[in-house]
Structure 1
Amino acid sequence: MSSTDFEDTGTPVDQDVTESAATSSSAEPAGEKTTLDLVQEALGGKEASPASETGEDQPEAKAQEGGADPKEGESEDTLTEEEKRTLSQRSRNRFHRLVETKKALEGQLSEVKPKAENFDRFVNYLQSNDLSAEDVENTLGIAAMIKKGDAAGAYQKVLPIFQKLAQAVGAVLPPQYQERVRLGHLSEQDARQLVQTEATARLSQYQLQRHQQMAQAQAERQQLERLTAEVVSAGDSWAQTKAQSDPDWSLRKDLVVELIGAELRQRGVPPTAQDVYALCEEVDKRVRERLKPFAAPKREMRPVTGVGSSPRSTPEPKNTLDVLNNTLAGIR
């Protein structure tokens, strides 16, 4: 559905229709967005393209846009002699400024790109190892304390971690196992083995749950992608059908699409293509009903009576006698 983006104003849909009806038929179409944009908003603009400059530079801009591709050996950042003769001095200055801006942006991009790639690798590492922001903050905090020489602070942070690790590998027995060893119910070696076995079982259970969560999240993402594709296709198909079958569609298109976007945000994305069609038809019907009072009344065609008509064409009068003759011929 190629139409303008939807903005939820928070007002009731019927009120939106009434307030917009007086101007919708005469408004110029705005920058349009696709159904995909609308669905993504419902699940969660483009900036309007700058208007073409008017004046003497406008034909020159068209000449630049319609120019042929540079020949082999020529650079896109320089003007040929023919282009220089075609363009005004003002346009040539603008071209040079744009080239300088382009080179500056390319330089900035070359500096930022490696940093972005390193950051992506860092994020992927965190995700693959199931590390949260809190984990990273705590780890870096301990490293910073060690670097600064704050041994006491680092020790207080590391001690609880060390104690948990010691219990997990059986280096330190939990109190319940220490008591059983003391009473002779269990040897120390068997107690350590039991602690390690329990720790391994807990880790396996955690990994299994984590794997199930990741698989479920991936399945939900795939389902969402399929749903989005179906909704986009259904919306585009419905709009194309309206454009071909309804001569008044262009007059209310922007308003209909805007209200469909509001409905998507309120109700969520419909689960099937049939539901998308039903929603679009419902909104379109509501808009047509609201716009009826603003439609121009049709004039009744009434036949002219009391004046005779002649199948023959009447010649243009040249003098007063001709006027009298034509008048008498019309009432015979």
Structure 2
Amino acid sequence: MIKVDNLQKVYQTNGKSIVALENIDLEITQGEIFGIIGYSGAGKSTLIRCFNMLETPTSGNIIIDNQDITRLSTTQLREKRKEIGMIFQHFNLLSARTVRGNIAYPLEIAGMKKADINKRVDELIHLVGLTNQADSYPAQLSGGQKQRVGIARAIANNPKVLLCDEATSALDPKTTLSILELLKDINRRLGLTMVLITHEMEVIKNICDRVAVIDQGQIAELGTVLQLFSQPKTKIAHEFLKQVTHVEVPEEILANFASKDSATHKLLQLSFLGETTSNPVISDMIKTHDIDINILHGQINRIQDTPYGTLVMTVEGAPENISNALKYLKENNIRIEVLTNGL
């Protein structure tokens, strides 16, 4: 559906060249929910705006549905954009129009007949759950309701691709989850290809099939969300994972543990994915490697339909036994983060 080849974007500012994107290669398949995560200034917003040519790439190609949009004329691009919907962080609704009027706007621009517009708007209002707010104005809506209007407006012309630019960043956590559920429902119903940019790993965890981690204008890591959680390869990927997996250990425990011998005492955070969450790995480790553990914290969440657990514990024993125990955990596909080794 979307293929990006060697994309580069360079800005000229005060006689200086600023590289926003460099050597970007991506393939996004039909019906996929694809996430792009990065810190502010990493280039993610520039990248997604290149997908509908709101930003013109300096070089490279962007092929959407077998058509290179970087080579289209102004008229051709205007038509192509009808196939690419976009929702924004700050909603961008027309304050003088009702919910119905906002959703109808792109259909009016497209020249659709009034009767067909009314029918389509009714369908969309029902789809996004705003039946009781159809005649309300944006000022009368909550943030989540405004974003639902933005989603309905973005898909009004039956696009093939939906771009989501920090679509949940302005929302509280509960509302964010409801919007993500709506996007997943739309994806399932319509088979719509979605590209989300975000700086929140919670969003990636809940909705995306694959994810690209972008850093300083380049793709630092790319893979399925499960791969990112189970086998992160880069420092920046580890940093983002801490948003949803890291447990804050009380300072008094860290201080007490830091005074112990690092060869015989370790404080660890373990991450379990899929079937390892239900296997008695820790029990078997204790039995076979002659070590003592003390569990400080544990929890199980889900990455879409896959269980994902974290466990914080201390390990004490002979150095060789601890080394063998950690090797055993890795052999069982458990990711280990040493929080502190002691002295």
Could you say which TM-score interval applies, normalised by the shorter chain? under 0.3
TM-score (norm: length of structure 1): 0.18
Q: Compare relative contact order (CA 8 Å, sep 6+) and give the higher one, 1 or 2.
A: 1
The TM-score normalised by the length of structure 2 is 0.18
Higher strand share: 2
Which has more helix, going by share of residues?
1
